[in-house]
Structure 1
Amino acid sequence: MTPVSPLSGAGLGLRRALLPELLAMDAGSLDFLECAPDNWIGVGGAQGEALAQLAERIPLSCHGLSLSLGGPAPLDLGLLHGTRRFLEQHRVRLYSEHLSYCSDEGQLYDLLPLPFTEEAVRHVARRIRQAQDVLERRIAVENVSYYAAPYQALAEIDFLRAVLEEADCDLLLDLNNLFVNAINHGYDAVAWLDAVPAERVVCLHVAGHYDEAPDLKIDTHGTRVKDDVWALLTRAYGRFGPVPTLLERDFNFPPLGELLAEVGQIRSRQQEVRHG
C-alpha cells in the first residue's frame, strides 16, 4: 500500500453551505477538513475552485458515502477509480467509508446496518481488501448508527473487531454513533470503547444528536455535541492519545465562529492529553 501522511489536530466537515466562511477564515483555525468525495468528483466552476483553494491551504481527509462496502452488488469500480483520482489530485491524507451498505440494484440513500455474523465478516472484509487494492492505500471504516438491528450472532464490538482483523484495515471511530447505539440498544458505551483495538484507530468523529426519549437518540449531526459525547471523547483520548478528531455538522449551521468554538473544545482536550 502507498504510505499516507497522518492527520493531526482537530477538523471540521466541509459542507457547501460553509464554503464562503471557510475561504475567509483565519489561517490555523482548523487542522484539517473532511469532505465526501462522492459529492465533489467532477464538480467544477466556482465550487470546484473553492474546494481546490481550501485543499491547498488545509490538509484534507475524505469520508465516502456511496461505496456500499457491505452490500450484495459488486463494488462500483468506476466510483473507486474516480475516488482514487480525487484523492491523488487533492493529496488526501485519509480516506474512510461506512461499515454498512447503501445500494443493491440502485442507491438506497441511507446507510443500512449489516447482520453481525461470521459470513458478513468475511463478505465485507473481502470487499474492503478489494477497495484497498484499487485505491492502493489503507482505508478506515466507520462504526455506523443503526435503529433496527439485523440478525446478531455476534455482539457489535466483536463484529467490528473481526472485520478490522480480517480486512487488515483501520478504524474511524464515531463517538456520537457509539453513544447513540449504546442508548438505543442497551449496552455500555465505555466497555465498548475499552474493547476497541487501539492500534486500528486513526481518526475520531464527534457530532450532535437529538434526544427523542431517554432510551431513544437520533443521530442527526444537526446540533451541538452533547456532554455525554464529550465525556466519551475524553475517555477515548485516555486510551488512544490525541487522535485527530473531526466535528461533523450537516445542517442547522450556526455562524462559523460557533463551530470553531466546538473545534476549540476538541483542541483543548487534545492539549490536556499532550501535557497531562
Structure 2
Amino acid sequence: MQSFRVLTPRDVDFMEVAPENWIGVGGRFGEQFRDYTRQFPFYAHGLSLSIGSPSPLDTGLIERIRHFLDQHAVRAYSEHLSYCSDEGHLYDLLPIPFTEEAVHYVAARVREVQDRLGRRIALENVSYYLTAGQDLTELEFINAVLTEADCDLLLDVNNIYVNSINHRYDPMAFLRGLPGERTAYYHIAGHYDEADDLKVDTHGADVIAPVWDLLLEAYLLYGVKPTLLERDFNIPPVPELLAELNQVKQIQHQALSLGAKDCRPQRVNG
C-alpha cells in the first residue's frame, strides 16, 4: 500500500483487492487499508472461491467474504470461472471442463454463493493453457454458465487475446459472442510472450496495441464501464503507471466520441 500513498481520487476511479489478502488483517495495516476503502470505491476480485472445484463450497470463506464486502462497502465482487482446490488449495487457476454437466454444476454453485452473499457476483473469463474436456467451445461454456447462474461477467480483455493466440481463434469474434450486457466491469493487462503461438497471462508487462484495440471494441459493443489496469509485478514508478492508466481513460473518451454508451456509475464518496 505504501507505493500508492501519492494517489488521490482524482488519479484513479476505483481500486480492486483480493479479499483473501485482507480478511482478518488488523492493527496498523488494517487501519491503513480501511483509510483507503473510505477514500476510494473498491471492487473485490477473489482468488479462493474455487467455483468449479469437485470439493464442496467453503461456506465459512463465503461468510467471511460477505462480512468483508459489507464492512468496506465494496461495489462489486468477482471471481474466476475456474477452480483452485480439491481437498486443499492448489494455488493455481485450473480450467473447468467445457461440458454440459459442468455448466449445471458450476451454475448451481454460483447461485448458492449469490444467495449466501445476498448479492450478484461476476465471473471472469480466464486464461487457460489446456482443456480438461471439451464438448462445448469456450464461448458456449461461458455463455451457458452465465445464463443458467444468472450472474454477471467480469470481461478480461487480455485473457481473450491470450486465449485467441494459444487456442487459435478470432478474438474480435469471441468478444462479439459474449453476453456483454452482463458485463459488470473490465480487466486489462499485459502478458508474456513465451513464443509466437504461446502467450502467458502474467500481469507483469505493458498492455500491447491489439489488446487496446479489443478494449475499444468492447466499449463500443457493451458500453464504457469501470476498467481495471492489472499489474502484479514489474510495477513501474507511479507516474509511468498513471500514464498507462490514462491510456484507458483516453480510449474511454474515444469510445464515447464514437457513440458508445457511458455505463460508469456516478462517483459516490464512501
Shorter-chain TM range is over 0.9
Cα distance, 1:45 vs structure 2: 2.2
Alpha-carbon distance in structure 1 between the residues aligned to 2:246 and 2:219: 15
Residue 81 (structure 1) aligns with:
63
C-alpha distance in structure 1 between counterparts of 2:30 and 2:240, whole Å:
26
Which of residues 180, 188, 203 in structure 1 aligns to 2:185? 203
- 1:49-198 equivalence runs, <5 A: 49-198=31-180
Identity, % of aligned positions: 57
**CA offsets per residue over residues 36-60 of structure 1, 9 Å max, x none?**
0011100112221121111101000
User: Are residues 1:225 and 2:225 paired?
Assistant: no
Q: Which residue of 1 aligns with 2:8?
A: 26
Is the contact between residue 208 and residue 226 of structure 1 (CA under 8 Å) also seen in structure 2?
yes
Output aligned runs, 1:8-23, within 5 Å: 19-23=1-5
Whether 1:239 aligns to 2:221 is: yes
- The offset of 1:272, in angstroms, is 1.8
**Structure-2 separation of matches of 1:262 and 1:46:** 31
One-letter amino acid of the structure 2 residue matched with residue 170 of structure 1: D
Which deviates more from structure 2 when the two are superposed, residues 173-182 or residues 24-33?
24-33
RMSD: 0.9
Spell out, residue by residue over 1:136-165, the C-alpha distance to the aligned partner (whole angstroms, 9 max, x if none): 000000011111111110000000000000
Unaligned runs of 5+ in 2: 259-270
Contact conserved, 1:171 with 1:200, CA < 8 A, in 2? yes
Q: Aligned residue for 2:268? A: none
Contact 1:23 1:50 in 2 (8 A): no
Unpaired runs of at least 5, structure 1: 1-18
**Alignment partner of 1:44 is 2:26:** yes
**What is the one-letter code of the residue matched to 2:196?**
P
Distance 2:140 2:130 in 1: 18
Paired residue type of 1:211: D
| Alpha-carbon distance change, 162 to 27 in structure 1, aligned in 2, over 3 angstroms | closer
Return the alpha-carbon distance in structure 1 between the equivalents of residues 4 and 46 of structure 2: 21
Q: Structure 2 CA distance, aligned partners of 1:156 and 1:27?
A: 37
**Contact 1:23–1:54 (CA under 8 A) maintained in structure 2:** no
Answer yes or no: is the 8 Å Cα contact 1:41–1:83 preserved in 2: yes
1:175-208 Cα shifts (integer Å, max 9, x gaps): 1111101100111111000001121111110011
User: TM-score when scaled to structure 1?
Assistant: 0.92
1:241 is displaced (CA, Å) by: 1.4
Contact 1:140 1:172 in 2 (8 A): yes
**1:243-258 alignment, distance < 5 Å:** 243-258=225-240
Question: CA–CA distance in 1 between the matches of 2:185 and 2:8?
Answer: 24
* Separation in 2, partners of 1:262, 1:51: 24
Give secondary structure in 2 for the equivalent of 1:61. Answer: strand
Q: Quick one: which amino acid aligns to residue 144 of structure 1? A: V
Please state how far the C-alpha of 1:274 moved relative to its aligned partner: 2.2
**Separation (CA, whole Å) in 1 of partners of 2:20 and 2:139:** 28
| 1:262, distance to aligned residue in structure 2 (A) | 1.1
Q: Which residue of 1 aligns with 2:244?
A: 262
* Number of residue pairs aligned between Structure 1 and Structure 2: 258
Which ranges of 4 or more aligned residues in structure 1 deviate by more than 4 Å?
A: none
- Give, as a single letter, the amino acid of the residue that structure 2 aligns with 1:99: L
Give 1:227 deviation, angstroms: 1.1
1:265 Cα deviation from its structure 2 partner? 0.7
